[in-house]
Structure 1
């Protein structure tokens, strides 16, 4: 499925006009209404939430409840005939939270005014039945953050997107209940054993930005009402996620119309710790001079292709800019909206980096009658696909020829529609539909059509969809036709590479990358319905269904790796469209007995990949001719795989100890598909002819068994503590590969599949304090402090495991054309901590000690100082110096970062103006995230602690790893900002 302008406009229309809101995880307010004098129940008393149609009536025992309350702060009003009205202001309701709110009404008398009190903000949630971290909109607006996801990282369960030992793609992201997780997650295939897509490495494809988190898009801080990190036994209405769930609840339009604007600008271009990219330029220039002075004409011609000069590429010069506007409120008694728009533009830390994103959110609610409510949500994030710019990145291998790095654009769309129908004060049902769509394109632009790709040319991508275009831009043989921009073999062409090598042992490119273009489109449509009923005071039942229809459409063309193949088509081409489907049924009962809460449920999931594996792994493809007469390898696949079913029980218990303390316990069994990139890469083509790497489509899903035991305690007024211990057993955690030699004349190939298990355990402690005075009117303080101790042990192959199979060896006959994937569970393994080193994207997240804090301090004259801090012990790595048989791992240095904000507020009429200064990594700590894992680099790291590769004299250094992730975390950054609210 390709996007046309008509389809783009249609989807945008759906977003803005008619789609949105899948199930938002709402809360509940309950309590009693009694006579203040006698203590008797006031039967029929009304309790309503101001500015909404939500409310309830007291029963014969004076008990009321209000269901389906969206997260936020409300004024709650209780009234009855003959009694003065009572209002409790700023009652905070969180997702899945039960708020206890009791009223004592006074008999109405002449001159008695309405009673108005401020809600007491609790620091613990006694209705919590599993581990959960909650962040409010006030924290998002007040703390120094690069993006809202940074505040999620302060949860004790999270380290840089890894939740309790799970991979990034094991955590699902929900926005108002809609799953916006990148289920394809291309980086999972990029970094598989042997690399499923080796041409990405050799064509400078960098995904470090999108790989750092599994969500398809970012949100503006002004659009978020609350965010939660759920890591225990969540309710059965949540989709299965083997690591955890990050859930965002967006702000709704209610009350008086209001708005705001915020702008932030860095003090200059962003920098990086470690060696400069061009510290090794003298070697490059010396090699160029040697070639230019050669008597060999070919060498002199090659010297002309050394085009880099000092200052050719922009490097840390332009500031990063962020802007945001918001507007919302009630536009009528039964209608409200909230709109936000944001711009983020960065020129990065490394040469040639540029990233611009425009994000807009519209949330609309309408109640034609009090019993029916429609919610509409639309989110659009443009990364250049809609408004026509291209983002660019840096590649270490192409540092001297950044014209050879593909550029990127894309667009993400979310659209949803939900109807809530209240049948009675005790029962309501919801039906909803949503669409989540992502497109990402990578490639090259020749805006002036001169046959040469220049820096930052405007225009559309070259698609190489016909051989005439590829023949115009790509040479027909290696080391020939150097006037053409692309090489037919980007890693075996001496005429376009240096002789000297970089820190990773590869030669720098001086010209001629490999041809590359990709256009990946993923679309997910979800239909969901459920009914909720408070059947008695003690039982709230919910049951529902969900159906998800995926469509993954890939168009990819890339140069061969490993040499030319004259009998084959002159580039690899992937053209496929797969349509997996997911179906779910769920039911749960939330039971409440005198403070005891039991949340028990079950979920039945079905996965239909609508795809097939190879019919015969020893004859997995056939050669067919394309229109130009070139051979194309076409996989030979059988019938579609059978639908698979997974049962997921969920249990959560909260047991009160006193009115200030409660224990909780949770259990869940979760099953989640592997990232679709690990199932479908090269699905329609057999990949590179030399050492192709393909995937086992029917590989087993990830499974986790999760236990939590915790205690909450409000040990003093405004102070709270939450301590929990957890255990997670994870199946099919890693990946492995088989080497297969099929029948002649075909050569060997590599196939990847799931492997091994992991054991993740830990203890987490969080201390909280509400923002309240500690030195009278001079100082108010609030914040959180968290400590986590954990470890992640994973299975590692111990040797002696069969992984090579061939027709000649009789394996085809032995296994009937199949492969012994089931034998992988019997492999010899040892347990070992998850290691880091070569990348901060794929490892280094097993940090045994993690400390985080958030701090807000309010002073007189509307001055506030806030801070966020993170402290983590180092990553594990294996030593290569000494006894290579040793299993004990070494540990890197601690990481320490403190961020600060100072702000001053001014009132100007009805507007409030805030000026602020943010200082990220205020103490300019050099935090090591990874090290160069080449032979020389590893030795330098172990001997002298230098993570950047060589010594900078005889061997090269670099500030990034092969996948583009920085070796050091950010240096000190200063931002100036201004916000206006009215």
Structure 2
């Protein structure tokens, strides 16, 4: 650690512009128009900046380290008319080719202006990459960066090209913000208004990217401008649906059911040397799923009670009246939001440019979210459920330094703190908790009680990253660097129960005739700190990576070649005897049956990457790529149940394995891009992926014949498919269409699948089956019409439905057959959303903006989950036994299967107004 800090300090003070993974390049050739002779010394500059270059002996030039955005490019030379290229788009990690033909001044005395075509060629693209600019995002009917990612080819519900959702790496300004604990999501939420450019890679990716097997999402944030600009807006939304029998409580039409407020400001603090950018958003959403407060938390029910039980137990209220149940329901029957959320995010960025070749920035982001998900079991008792909190703070220092016209390097230091916890009352001794005895159910639903306990995961990541890029000549761009991350992971689980648990005092009660309620002894909690299921630990793993890559660019050929080295140390111990991992069994005369606890092995791997693209004619490109990709499993799989304790019952725990190996993917891809006509581009890619050493939980049997799970590397999967993309841009219209055909197969959906099947006495899966996110057809279409003071967008999505497991009822003959998981597919889903805005000029550059968004325009009931007996939402096939034994005085036997969360949200209309200046 000290040596790394020393290196960082030395680099900081010896730096002579950079931001690796956050900049692009402009390159091309300048010739005389009539003779096609190279113009040595022709000057190329980006208007309004100090960036530029001069043509070499062959007329070739390049400008490296260009931040993503849209620029005007000026080409000039004494004796020739200047040439201005308007609207030159630069994307992160891409080369924008601008070739120029200059005319002698006696032919054209004034400067010539050329508007660059909106559809850029893919000459340097060796795999499937989609660059989405902030301007593109602004037009889409989306609420988050995640919505934008979901519209890209090859992406199905967070799964990239058939991989598990844990196989994607998310970066902000080139620095990883992936949740290392679960690897399911990202911990730094960047609002769409703060995005300058976003790179989504579903194909093979270069050696500079690691810790991922399926895809990369790299978000480049905006910097402050040299002029003051900003905006402020507020919007309200509600649901307007014809399905009020499913989505209860939405008839009232409360316009403020969902609220959204945004503010953004940027500009100079000191001329153009110091600029700032700030972004703020606050949301308060009640959601679209309501419960009905029939029961309160201290209501008591007993639907298994008989009026006289063998002549011993009388009715709870001491009245023998023939009732076969006892039910208190003191709720007010009001509608209660059950999938609500409150969020806010803050981003601030300072950029310093003391010299033309020296830039550094400081950025801070804060995200806060609290929410509850809808749980159908609590429909009639929506109170007393735990709330889920997600908080993060992210600090990033970036230094960019141009060492020469053809070399720059980057230093980045980041610190990320995240805390994910859930609880109803954080203090386990809170007096508001009700006695455990109230936690009953009836009619298939909860009728009382509280959700107790506390769980928290806190993760602090320190990252140091260095990259250097050397444009050796017009053909070779060399890049190398290293990345060091130190994790500090703390897991806290608080398990509480009544101190009277298991005693007669816990069951003591009396009937209060004044309230008509059963009253139990007060709840007296105790913390079970030594319980087997109480998982508390602090671990500090670290990882290091280094890479080298060469991007070779020739007139008709581009080759990307690189290699990456990754090292991971779990920095903890492991048990040597898995049949007695926690030494709960004593064998003094058989020491080989006792565990020792040596340090776990460090893991390292080397991964080559290769890609090439070949230009066919003037507007067609063929590409091929191949690569090996490794990543460590999520941190929870290394440290879960870190005391290695096995409960007394079978299949009650899974123990983490600090010796886990990296998971591995080998991917091949071939693609073709063609400019069909000006402004219209078509691309098709085919791919195949083998996925090895996937995380799985094996079943281990202890010496006293208790079975538990132990994480290891065993599962295999593969995916193959085709992606087609069509992009059209002809002012004022832009259209994109993408289609994905995909087949995803594997042994198991998730790491615990094999372990769960064993616990249910089911055979192990011995063949490749469709995985839960196997979706054959996916289509996304977006059409945009943008004029100076108004804009309209219509975006539609279609999918053929992901896999699910059909399970016939026990009375069906099919129940006797062995059916593998994911043997059917859900119904197809289709959605159209609309977005529009209209601007009214006020004074100077100030305008008022009115905007309207409509999500699920057609109010379709798209089924996002289905009943396993019918394959449809909101339905079920019940056995005669289930029907005859059902007992309730407030609902029917089918109510439990009428879960509205099985459908996507109904039509939502969002109306807002704002100021733009």
CA distance in 1, matches of 2:285, 2:734: 32
Give the deviation of 1:878 after TM superposition. 3.7
Q: Secondary structure at the match of 2:49?
A: coil
CA distance in 2, matches of 1:229, 1:699: 29
Matching of residue 757 in structure 1 with residue 716 in structure 2: yes
Aligned to 1:397: 377
Q: Secondary structure at the match of 2:287?
A: coil
User: Deviations along 1:874-915, whole A, 9 cap, x unmatched?
Assistant: 222343335323569332211000111233232333123332
Give the deviation of 1:943 after TM superposition. 9.7
CA distance in 1, matches of 2:76, 2:18: 32
Q: Structure 1 residues 937, 143: closer, same or farther in 2, change over 3 A?
A: closer
Q: 2:357 aligns with which of 368, 371, 380?
A: 371
Matching of residue 712 in structure 1 with residue 673 in structure 2: yes
Task: Answer yes or no: is the 8 Å Cα contact 2:25–2:93 preserved in 1.
Answer: yes
Task: Answer yes or no: is the 8 Å Cα contact 2:463–2:484 preserved in 1.
Answer: yes
Aligned to 1:63: 60
CA distance in 2, matches of 1:400, 1:570: 35
Task: Answer yes or no: is the 8 Å Cα contact 1:177–1:247 preserved in 2.
Answer: yes
Task: Answer yes or no: is the 8 Å Cα contact 2:747–2:765 preserved in 1.
Answer: no
Q: Secondary structure at the match of 1:906?
A: strand
Give the deviation of 1:250 after TM superposition. 1.6
Aligned to 1:520: 457
Matching of residue 485 in structure 1 with residue 434 in structure 2: yes
Aligned to 2:203: 232
Q: 2:832 aligns with which of 883, 895, 898?
A: 898
Q: 1:501 aligns with which of 436, 444, 448?
A: 444
Task: Answer yes or no: is the 8 Å Cα contact 1:548–1:583 preserved in 2.
Answer: yes
CA distance in 2, matches of 1:902, 1:436: 37
Aligned to 1:10: none
Q: 2:795 aligns with which of 868, 878, 881?
A: 868
Q: Secondary structure at the match of 1:404?
A: coil
Aligned to 1:885: 818
CA distance in 2, matches of 1:271, 1:498: 31
Q: Secondary structure at the match of 1:612?
A: coil
Task: Answer yes or no: is the 8 Å Cα contact 2:806–2:868 preserved in 1.
Answer: no
Bigger RCO (CA 8 Å, 6+ sep): 1
Aligned to 1:90: 87
Q: Secondary structure at the match of 1:397?
A: helix
Give the deviation of 1:407 after TM superposition. 2.0
Task: Answer yes or no: is the 8 Å Cα contact 1:878–1:890 preserved in 2.
Answer: yes
Task: Answer yes or no: is the 8 Å Cα contact 1:315–1:352 preserved in 2.
Answer: no
Q: Structure 1 residues 926, 615: closer, same or farther in 2, change over 3 A?
A: same
Aligned to 1:181: 178
Q: 1:676 aligns with which of 628, 635, 638?
A: 635
Task: Answer yes or no: is the 8 Å Cα contact 2:18–2:65 preserved in 1.
Answer: no
Aligned to 1:419: 399
1:607-646 superposed matches below 5 A:
607-621=568-582, 638-646=597-605
Give the deviation of 1:699 after TM superposition. 3.0
CA distance in 2, matches of 1:802, 1:326: 49
CA distance in 1, matches of 2:256, 2:873: 34
Task: Answer yes or no: is the 8 Å Cα contact 1:929–1:967 preserved in 2.
Answer: yes
1:442-461 superposed matches below 5 A:
442-445=422-425, 461=426
1:58-457 superposed matches below 5 A:
58-107=55-104, 112-185=109-182, 214-267=185-238, 275=246, 318-331=256-269, 332-350=271-289, 351-383=337-369, 391-445=371-425
Aligned length: 793
Task: Answer yes or no: is the 8 Å Cα contact 1:363–1:375 preserved in 2.
Answer: yes
CA distance in 2, matches of 1:696, 1:866: 48
Task: Answer yes or no: is the 8 Å Cα contact 1:271–1:316 preserved in 2.
Answer: no
Aligned to 2:296: none
CA distance in 2, matches of 1:610, 1:784: 47
Q: Secondary structure at the match of 1:658?
A: coil
User: Deviations along 1:637-695, whole A, 9 cap, x unmatched?
Assistant: 61221111111111111100111100111111111111112222222474866553132
Task: Answer yes or no: is the 8 Å Cα contact 2:351–2:359 preserved in 1.
Answer: yes
Q: Secondary structure at the match of 1:574?
A: coil
CA distance in 1, matches of 2:486, 2:908: 43
Aligned to 2:608: 649
Which sits farther off after the overlay, 337-346 or 935-944? 935-944
Give the deviation of 1:531 after TM superposition. 1.7
CA distance in 1, matches of 2:495, 2:255: 33
Q: Secondary structure at the match of 2:225?
A: coil
Give the deviation of 1:796 after TM superposition. 5.3
Task: Answer yes or no: is the 8 Å Cα contact 2:27–2:97 preserved in 1.
Answer: yes
Scaled by the length of structure 2, what TM-score is found?
A: 0.79
Give the deviation of 1:711 after TM superposition. 0.4
CA distance in 2, matches of 1:179, 1:61: 40
Structure 1: state its 5+ residue gaps: 1-19, 189-210, 280-310, 384-389, 446-460, 474-482, 488-492, 503-507, 625-634, 773-779, 807-825, 835-842, 945-949
Task: Answer yes or no: is the 8 Å Cα contact 1:124–1:721 preserved in 2.
Answer: no
Task: Answer yes or no: is the 8 Å Cα contact 1:404–1:512 preserved in 2.
Answer: yes
Give the deviation of 1:525 after TM superposition. 1.2
Scaled by the length of structure 1, what TM-score is found?
A: 0.74
Task: Answer yes or no: is the 8 Å Cα contact 2:406–2:471 preserved in 1.
Answer: yes
Q: Secondary structure at the match of 2:180?
A: coil
Task: Answer yes or no: is the 8 Å Cα contact 2:239–2:288 preserved in 1.
Answer: no
Task: Answer yes or no: is the 8 Å Cα contact 1:275–1:958 preserved in 2.
Answer: no
CA distance in 1, matches of 2:60, 2:469: 19
Aligned to 1:911: 846
Task: Answer yes or no: is the 8 Å Cα contact 2:178–2:187 preserved in 1.
Answer: yes
CA distance in 2, matches of 1:560, 1:104: 80
Q: Secondary structure at the match of 1:117?
A: strand
Give the deviation of 1:953 after TM superposition. 3.0
Give the deviation of 1:100 after TM superposition. 1.0
Q: 1:971 aligns with which of 898, 906, 912?
A: 906
1:690-729 superposed matches below 5 A:
692-697=652-657, 698-729=659-690
CA distance in 2, matches of 1:382, 1:264: 20
Task: Answer yes or no: is the 8 Å Cα contact 1:411–1:440 preserved in 2.
Answer: yes
CA distance in 1, matches of 2:102, 2:257: 58
Q: Secondary structure at the match of 2:409?
A: strand
Give the deviation of 1:266 after TM superposition. 0.4
Task: Answer yes or no: is the 8 Å Cα contact 1:560–1:688 preserved in 2.
Answer: no
Q: Structure 1 residues 80, 687: closer, same or farther in 2, change over 3 A?
A: farther
Give the deviation of 1:49 after TM superposition. 1.9
Q: Secondary structure at the match of 2:767?
A: strand
Q: Structure 1 residues 409, 317: closer, same or farther in 2, change over 3 A?
A: farther
Give the deviation of 1:107 after TM superposition. 4.7
Q: Secondary structure at the match of 2:833?
A: strand
Matching of residue 740 in structure 1 with residue 692 in structure 2: no
Give the deviation of 1:521 after TM superposition. 1.1
Aligned to 1:829: 766
Q: 2:40 aligns with which of 43, 48, 52?
A: 43
Task: Answer yes or no: is the 8 Å Cα contact 1:397–1:509 preserved in 2.
Answer: no
Q: Secondary structure at the match of 1:679?
A: helix
Give the deviation of 1:622 after TM superposition. 5.3
Give the deviation of 1:158 after TM superposition. 0.7
Instruction: Please give the root-mean-square deviation of Cα atoms over the aligned residues, in Å.
Output: 3.6
CA distance in 1, matches of 2:245, 2:160: 28
Which sits farther off after the overlay, 891-900 or 251-260? 251-260
Aligned to 1:576: 537
Aligned to 1:540: 477
Q: Secondary structure at the match of 1:138?
A: helix
Task: Answer yes or no: is the 8 Å Cα contact 1:850–1:872 preserved in 2.
Answer: yes
User: Deviations along 1:788-838, whole A, 9 cap, x unmatched?
Assistant: 1111011259xxx9989x9xxxxxxxxxxxxxxxxxxx987111111xxxx
Task: Answer yes or no: is the 8 Å Cα contact 1:232–1:667 preserved in 2.
Answer: no
Aligned to 2:783: 855
Give the deviation of 1:575 after TM superposition. 2.6
